Structure formats: C-alpha cells, structure tokens
Amino acid sequence: MGTITKALGLLNHFSLNHPEIGLIQFVKLSGFDKATNHRLLSELAINGFVEQDSLTRKYRLGPSVLRLANVREITFPARSVINPILEDLVAATGETAHASLLQSNILTTIAHKEGTTHGTRVHIDPAELIPLHATASGLAVMAFAQEALTKQVLASDLKSWTNSTIVDRAQLVDKIEDTRASGFGGSNQGFENGVYGIAAPLFDKNQTCIGAIAIATPTSRQSEQLDALIKKELAKASRRITHGWGGIIPGQMEAVWTHV
Amino acid sequence: MGTITKALGLLNHFSLNHPEIGLIQFVKLSGFDKATNHRLLSELAINGFVEQDSLTRKYRLGPSVLRLANVREITFPARSVINPILEDLVAATGETAHASLLQSNILTTIAHKEGTTHGTRVHIDPAELIPLHATASGLAVMAFAQEALTKQVLASDLKSWTNSTIVDRAQLVDKIEDTRASGFGGSNQGFENGVYGIAAPLFDKNQTCIGAIAIATPTSRQSEQLDALIKKELAKASRRITHGWGGIIPGQMEAVWTHV
DNA sequence: AGTGTAGGTTCAAATAATGAACCATACACA
DNA sequence: TGTGTATGGTTCATTATTTGAACCTACACT
C-alpha cells in the first residue's frame, strides 16, 4: 500500500459518530504505528486536510476539503444538481434516497435525504463507502459500467456484510445480468439487515456510468406497488440528474426503461 | 517534501480556469517526472480525490472531496454558517466578501460572494490559497492567533505579489501591531493591484483565531466613509459567524471593537 | 511518589518512491 | 504510406523516504 493511500485512508475514519479522532484512536483504527500515524496526520494537517483542536489535540477534517469541494462543485455541479431531485424523490416515495459516485471500485455517497414516512425509515451515514457487490447501487453501476469493473469486483474477495450478502460469484453475475435487463439494481438486506434497496444508474457526457441513485426502504414496507412507484421515480430522477450535469443516457436504457 | 504533500499539492492546481488537467500538463505545473505524476495521480484516483474523464483521460477533482466536505460540514458547520452572513455583508456594503480558514501558515478560501456594485468589483477565485503576509485576512489572523504563527511567517521568505506587498519584516511586525490595536487587518494592493482589503478575525470555541472574514474593494472606490461602514459590518459579521459555529470572541476584541 | 494514558520524537533498518528510457496510440501533414 | 509530434502510460535499477521500537513529556488520578 502506498503512503498516499495510507494517509488518505485515515480520512475515511471520520464520520458522523466520530467527527474528531485522537492520535491513539487512529493507531487502533488504522493499525499503523503511532509514529507513522503522527507523520501522516502532520502532513495532512500542513495541507489542510485535517486540523487539530487547539485544546484537545484531536484531529478533524480540515478546511481544504471544503475549498476543493467548492471548486469541483462550481466547475462540475453534482450535489447542486442532485439535491433538489433527491427532495422530489423523497416527496414522491416517502422513503430515504441517496446518490453515490464511482471511485475506482467502490461508491462514494455524495448526497442523501431521509424519508418522510412515519416511524421507521432508513438512516444513512454520509461518510460511509458503499461496496459494489452488496448494494443495489453497486449492481446498477456494475451492470452499466465497463466490463472491466465487474471483473475487478469478481477478482476481489466479496466481503459478507449480512447473511444475505451475495458472495457467490456466479450468483453475482446472474444478479448483474438481471440488473442489465431490468435497468434497476435491487438488493434485499445485502448491506444492512432490514433494508431493501432499489437503484438506477447515472451517466456522464460520454455515456459512461459514473454512479447511481437509490432508494432504501425498510423490508417491512416492501410491496409490489411501492416497487413500481420507486422504479418509475428512479428512472425519472436518473434522467433528470444525468441531463442536469450534461450527461447522456445510453440508448439501451431507454429500451429497458420503457415499461416503467 | 513528503510524498503526501506532493500528491495533495497536485490538487491545488485545479481552479476555475483549469478544472481538468492532463498528465503532461501536470508535469509542467508540478515539475515532477511524468512517471511520478502518473503514480501520484493514480493513487489519488484510487482514493477518489481525482477522477479521469473516460474519453479525454484528463484528470479532475474526484467525488471524495464532496463526501468529506459533506461530513465536515454536517459535523462542523462552517460554510452553512458563513454563507448567509456573507450575503448580508454584500448587501450592506455592495462589495465582494470572502471567508477563509487557517491551514498551517496559509489561508484557504471556503466561501465568497461577489459585490453588487455597478461596473468594477473584485473577482475571487475560490481555488486560490491566500498568503498571510500579503493580505488583510492574513494580518487579521496573525494579529490574533498564537505568536508562533507570526514567527513562522517572519522566518519564511516573504514573496512579493505586487510592488506594494510588504516584504520588510520590521514593517510587517508594525502592521500586525496596528491590526492588533484596531481589530482589523488592512492591505492596500498587497496581493493584487487595484484591490484594497479589510478583514476581521474569526474564532473557535477555545477563543483561538482560526480564520478571517474580509471585504475587497477596488482602490478607486476607497473612502473613509466606506471604510467605516465596512469595519462596522465586518465586526458584526465576525461576531455572528464566530457565535454561529459555537466560537467565543476573546475579551480583547470587544475592547478594540467598541468604537465601530 | 506511583500508575495510567495521552501526544509527540528519534534514528538505524526496511521499504517505497523516483526518473531515464521505454512502449503505444492518435493525429497532422507531405 | 511514411515521418514528426503530441499524448498517456509502464519498467526497473538506483535512490531517498518511510517505518516502528524505544524514548521523552505532560497531565490526571490514587
């Protein structure tokens, strides 16, 4: 593992529940030596990717991520395109929606909005990285991205998140083919127990699949009617988002999405 | 220079005018070998900090910065606190306003809003890193942050940005003392010709100065009345922002800001 | 004074980064 | 069809950086 990946990997330990992390905590989380962690964090701090609380000496995400996100968002609007459409999606379905973008062979959550439905609703941690083989979004992306991506995933070890996670390679290939035929990825408790997800792919200006938009519902509320509604809304949202950032929906999608 | 700094430094080459950068362009910009640039960019890409256009192979900022900025913003609201106050600041003064946070010994722009005044107004590139010794924001931060910061800056070589940039160390120390006495940093064309800036410090919960809020006006419009208005509004804005994110304005500020 | 826990530092040994030279592809042009 | 010139990308011996056990310091609690 390269030094850069080690350093950047430390940033993934920050989340809603762990917004500030001390040096010793990083040792436990990362498994690297204390001196190594300290040097990685110091270099991240010089570059503004983390900053230290002036009193507690704990580390948190630094101002550079804000600046870079700002620059990216001004030059390649993604969150600003997605957010209003997520609102509509939640309004139409009552369920939690989230959008994620492909980063090599994992998905990065870039926007989410929790459902409005009474009582139970799916909670999402925006810091979480999403595995391709275990989620609806991942299936949607693998089905419509380059073949090489699926090969990479099949070559990696398929971690089991729940006892419903698909870890059998042949079964996964089948699932991806189903997804390609229907235009929607679906995952029943593959990543989190009690959560059922449906997802549609998102495309860039080269008709390359670069991410997915998904809706997550508690399994208790699963029904054919809700499924149909969600698919209709997801296809609409995928078109709006893709066009919103100047992307093009490939012809094959128009063919499979005609029935929804 | 460490490998991490080299890699993260590449990200600073992205800006409004250069949202996408090719490998060879990076060689020219960074001065590193092609193989080195390629390896650094590949490792950044694996971690989602850059991504490549699927057709042109040019690199741009990746989705990870969006996710991390989102996580930071949810756990430590900064932009969401600052933005509405910047709006008010621009509405009250008609001039361009921007906020920046300290990152070791440089300032990172995290929000900006251009002025509404007719014709001339100052334009800001949100990707730009702001030097401490040449700007109003830098003076405001040095005056109210730990002494060690000023020492660091005085020990570095003071790059000249315009022929009005203060590069004389004794003169800079004087300027910092003036700033401490008045509560506002001021810079006349120290960073950009034709631009006059005034800035006020921002504080965190430990009463540590962590950034600045500033207003930049074309020198042509400079006047005592406008100065007085800007200072009044900046002091108000600094209080609102500092309190907005749970910070505390140190007693010394209340003493020097009583007259505005 | 003693113990535990935290952040931070040192330096010889182990490891990863580097860059000159290489290949492949695409395009322009005579 | 061949030549020149751009680009992105790769290889591997040399070189420089990263690593981690042991160490230091500060503070809270007993």
Q: A121 with A186, same domain?
A: yes
Which phi and psi (to 5°) does residue B152 adopt? -55, -45
CB atoms B3 and A3 under 8 Å: yes
Give the pLDDT confidence score for residue B52 in this predicted structure.
95
Q: A21 with A57, same domain?
A: yes
| Structure tokens belonging to residue B206 | 């430990």
pLDDT digits (tens, 9 = 90+) for A202-222: 999 999 999 999 999 999 999
| Structure tokens belonging to residue B11 | 């990200």
Probe site for chain A from B6, B8, B207, B241 (most A CB atoms < 10 A): B8
pLDDT digits (tens, 9 = 90+) for B112-130: 999 998 778 899 999 999 9
Residue A118 pLDDT more than 80?
Answer: no
Please, which residues have CB within 8 angstroms of residue A218's CB and are 6 or more apart in sequence? A120, A121, A122, A194, A195, A196
Describe the crossing of helices A3-11 and B63-75 by its angle, rounded to 10 degrees: 40
Q: Which residues in chain B, range 48-87, keep a C-beta under 7 Å from any nucleic strand D atom?
A: 52, 57-58
CATH number assigned to the domain comprising residue A157: 3.30.450.40
CA of A41 to nearest chain B CA: how many angstroms apart?
A: 10
Mean pLDDT (chain A) is 95
Give the pLDDT confidence score for residue B181 in this predicted structure.
96
pLDDT digits (tens, 9 = 90+) for B61-116: 999 999 999 999 999 999 999 999 999 999 999 999 999 999 999 999 999 999 99
The mean-pLDDT minimum among A108-112, A255-259, B60-64, B83-87 falls in A255-259
Give the pLDDT confidence score for residue B180 in this predicted structure.
96
Interface size A-B, in CB pairs within 8 Å, comes to: 188
Give the pLDDT confidence score for residue B24 in this predicted structure.
95
Query: Which of these three, B67, B91, B109, is where a domain ends?
Result: B67
CATH number assigned to the domain comprising residue A19: 1.10.10.10
Q: A185 with A159, same domain?
A: yes
Three-state secondary-structure class, residue B219: helix
Query: Which of these three, B27, B48, B67, is where a domain ends?
Result: B67
Q: B60 with B97, same domain?
A: no
Residue A117 pLDDT more than 90?
Answer: no
Cα(A88)–Cα(A84) distance, rounded to whole angstroms? 6
Give the pLDDT confidence score for residue A119 in this predicted structure.
77
Mean pLDDT (chain B) is 95
Cα(B22)–Cα(B24) distance, rounded to whole angstroms? 6
Amino acid at residue number A4: I
Three-state secondary-structure class, residue A186: strand
Q: A223 with A255, same domain?
A: yes
Q: A46 with A133, same domain?
A: no
Q: B61 with B82, same domain?
A: no
| Nearest alpha carbon to residue B202 among B219, B221, B183 | B183
- B56 CA to C13 C1' in angstroms comes to 44
Q: A60 with A96, same domain?
A: no
Q: B85 with B159, same domain?
A: yes
- Please give the average per-residue pLDDT across B27-55, as a whole number: 95
- Percent of chain A residues topping a pLDDT of 70: 99
Cα(B237)–Cα(A140) distance, rounded to whole angstroms? 46
Residue A124 pLDDT more than 90?
Answer: yes
How many angstroms separate the Cα of B86 from the Cα of each of A258, B79, B99, B108, B123? 47, 10, 8, 16, 15
- Please give the average per-residue pLDDT across A43-66, as a whole number: 96
- B57 CA to C22 C1' in angstroms comes to 21
Q: Which residues touch strand C (CB under 7 A)?
A: A 1-4, 22-25, 34-35, 38, 41-42, 52, 57-58; B 3, 6, 32-36, 39-40
Give the pLDDT confidence score for residue A254 in this predicted structure.
87
| Nearest alpha carbon to residue B144 among B118, B189, B182 | B182
B47 neighbourhood in chain A, CB within 8 Å: 4-5, 8-9, 103-104
CB atoms B71 and A79 under 8 Å: no
Residue B259 pLDDT more than 80?
Answer: no
Residue A194 pLDDT more than 90?
Answer: yes
Cα(B27)–Cα(B34) distance, rounded to whole angstroms? 6
Amino acid at residue number B7: A
pLDDT digits (tens, 9 = 90+) for A2-33: 999 999 999 999 999 999 999 999 999 999 99
Probe site for chain B from A41, A102, A103 (most B CB atoms < 10 A): A103
| B-chain residue closest to A51, CA distance | B103
Residue A96 pLDDT more than 80?
Answer: yes
| Nearest alpha carbon to residue A133 among A93, A97, A162, A96 | A162
Q: B164 with B110, same domain?
A: yes
B247 neighbourhood in chain A, CB within 8 Å: none
* Per-residue buried b or exposed e for A100-139, using 16+ beta carbons within 10 Å of the residue's own CB: bbbbebbbbbbbbbebebeeebbebebbbebbbbbbbbbb
Work out the end-to-end distance of chain A between its first and last CA atoms, rounded to an integer number of angstroms: 45
| B-chain residue closest to A124, CA distance | B71
CB atoms A63 and B126 under 8 Å: no
Sorting pLDDT into bands at 50, 70 and 90, what band is A44? very high
Domain count, chain B: 2
pTM for the model: 0.95
Query: Which of these three, B44, B67, B90, is where a domain ends?
Result: B67
Nucleotide with C1' nearest the B38 CA = D9
The mean-pLDDT minimum among A104-113, A118-127, B183-192 falls in A118-127
Please, which residues have CB within 8 angstroms of residue B168's CB and are 6 or more apart in sequence? none
- Please give the average per-residue pLDDT across A22-46, as a whole number: 96
Domain hosting residue B32, numbered range: 3-67
Q: A99 with A156, same domain?
A: yes
| Structure tokens belonging to residue A230 | 């969600």
Longest dimension (CA), chain A: 59
The protein residue nearest C18 (Cα–C1') is B36
From the Cβ of B35, is strand D under 7 Å away?
yes
Q: A22 with A124, same domain?
A: no
- Is residue A120 within 8 A of residue A92, CB to CB? The reply is no
Residue B260 pLDDT more than 80?
Answer: no
- DSSP class of residue A77 equals -
Give the pLDDT confidence score for residue A149 in this predicted structure.
94
User: Would you tell me how many other CB atoms lie within 10 Å of the CB of residue A155?
Assistant: 9
